[in-house]
Amino acid sequence: MDGFDPEQYDVDFLDRGGTVHDFIDNKIKELSLGCSEPFHVANLDNLVKKYVIWCNNLPRVKPFYAVKCNDTPTVIGVLSALGTGFDCASKAEIQLALSLGVTPDRIIYAHTIKAESHIKYARTHGVQMMTFDNQEELSKIARCHARAKLVLRITVDDSKAVRRLNTKFGASLDSAGRLLQRAGELGLDVVGVSFHVGCQCTDSRAYRQAIADARQVFNIASLMGFQLSLLDIGGGFSGNENFKVKFEEVAATINLALDDFFPVGCGVQIIAEPGRYYVESAFTLAVNVIAKKVIMEEAEGVPDRVMMYYVNDGVYGSLSFLINDPTSAEGSERRYRSVIWGPTCDSLDKLTDSCLLPELQVGEWLLMDNTGAYTVCLATDFNGFEKAHVYSVVTPETCVFLISPTAECLCFSHFHSECVFIHSHSLFFVYFSVSRVCISTCSCCF
């Protein structure tokens, strides 16, 4: 594993015993003296903790982090120091990984639809491994990168996923033989099979069936003279610790399937493409209440107030893919039905319209946890609103490990105890403090 240089990424150290929320409180106090722009805080301890959990539960599966999920350079740097590979889907993502010291052999160009110029860029910079699922892609690769190591992506059952992918990507099992034949005719080197069970898969059995399907393709390839040596089990792993299917359950199902269909010693390397698994719970977003309206409505003949709050980040910024699952606040304060709007002039820029919150004042802050996946990377500057800045924090103990990582340092108990985080499964979990309201957020759709 490579070392991590915190100075390169402008990382802040948490005081001994301090938490992410302590850092946020201090940052809010600083911002109160000037501007009040939204910001993310990335908890690098949480990121490392997820890496350790992965290693403990899926020891045979090498992770290739999906850069598209969150391309914050600090995230790439930490995961690179830990020895992960990287799933890149474009020239720009490959450029980013290479610029941060990732070697080409640790990159898979995991997009079945690629521009020829991007394929040539991968060839020029030594990226060999890439996916395909159709004959036209094989023809492009033959023209642009004839020595590539190819991975055939197949369609699998993704009906249990929050967001399905296989209508757009993947070759059917029936067409796998024809694609392998065409690759052979073009003199291309097919080395493996990949699949994706869809984003945030809610049934661990989907992985078992997909691995069984991949075994069929391996058998077909063997009969055709191909010696496949790689299985890529894709992504679909939730990063929210309160997701309905626990990661440990998914891992146990995968391990049993691998033992049955790709046992130890079979000569096949197993990799995966986790994205949100690593970053979802590592990020907290802080937004400021910049405006407020009070609307009078009648409920069962009784007049009541509906609060409308406007915050400085929204669906055109960090929160473009939300699954709203509102909940009420705990505590003794009276709560009101609240509508939360983003800052832009678009009426579609709404975060929720059915959340029960204590009355907030302009200038107070809302904290949203579980905002590491498909937030930073999808933000725009529509209407001229700036994207939320990312601050990264780490404990001294974890930083020492990242600077000089060794396998012996991978102690789960340390990272488990050092990571302090809000856990939630719904859009708004709330508690009051002097300067902020904490709301537990989003599961983004990807």
Of these residues, 345, 419, 442, 444, which one is catalytic? 345
386/317 Cα distance (integer angstroms): 8
Show the tokens assigned to 383. Answer: 């209407």
CA angle 435, 424, 311 (to 5 degrees): 40
Residue with tokens 């004042």: 361
Distance CA 275, CA 70 (A): 8
CA angle 109, 223, 113 (to 5 degrees): 20
Region of residue 72 (phi > 0: left; psi between -120 and 50: alpha; otherwise: beta): beta
Cα 367 to Cα 239: distance, rounded to the nearest angstrom: 18
Q: Which of 63, 51, 50, 68 is nearest to 233 (CA)?
A: 63
Both tokens of 9, joined, read 């990424």
Q: Is 199 a catalytic residue?
A: no
For β-strands 11-13 and 389-394, DSSP reports them as parallel
C-alpha span between 55 and 19 (Å, rounded): 25
Continuous segment of H or E residues that includes residue 228: none
Could you give the residue numbers annotated as active site? 345
